[in-house]
């Protein structure tokens, strides 16, 4: 009797109801899987840390910095990162990894100095602190 009633109730759902049901089921299932099997960064993003600069994890905090050079005459730029001034920071060219560019973190000034040799180029730097 209960199964027959369930089938009748499900048959009355519209297409939009099914889409909403599947969407909610997917969000809940994905969240449960990420919380069960994801690392601390994934779990932090799900629990509300998404979109925060320097979201912490067990290895320390990190920020990502995108740098462009678009037909500029100056290949060297000094980029201020005020919230990291005075901190020990390890700068890494995250993308592209094999790119030719020079960079240096200045702890006292809180700046990342970047030299991009090509007139049109871009890099993504990871600042670990």
Q: Where are the domains of the chain?
A: 2-37, 62-128
pLDDT of residue 103: 95
Contact in structure between 105 and 127 (CB atoms under 8 Å): yes
Token pair for residue 34? 């990420």
pTM above threshold 0.95 = no
**How many residues are present in the chain?**
129
Q: What is the pLDDT of residues 69-115, one digit of tens each?
A: 888 899 999 999 999 999 999 999 988 877 788 999 999 999 999 99
| Token output for 27 | 């969000």
């Amino acid at each position: 009797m209960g199964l027959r009633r369930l089938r009748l109730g499900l048959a009355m759902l519209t297409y939009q109801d099914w889409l909403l049901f599947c969407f909610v089921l997917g969000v809940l299932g994905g969240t449960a899987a990420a919380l069960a099997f994801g690392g601390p960064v994934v779990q932090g993003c799900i629990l509300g840390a998404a979109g925060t600069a320097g979201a912490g994890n067990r290895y320390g905090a990190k920020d990502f910095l995108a740098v462009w050079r678009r037909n500029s005459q100056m290949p060297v730029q000094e980029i201020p990162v005020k919230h990291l001034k005075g901190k020990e920071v390890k700068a890494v060219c995250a993308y592209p990894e094999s790119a030719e560019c020079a960079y240096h973190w200045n702890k006292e000034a809180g700046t990342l100095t970047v030299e991009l040799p090509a007139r049109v180029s871009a890099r993504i730097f990871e600042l670990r602190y």
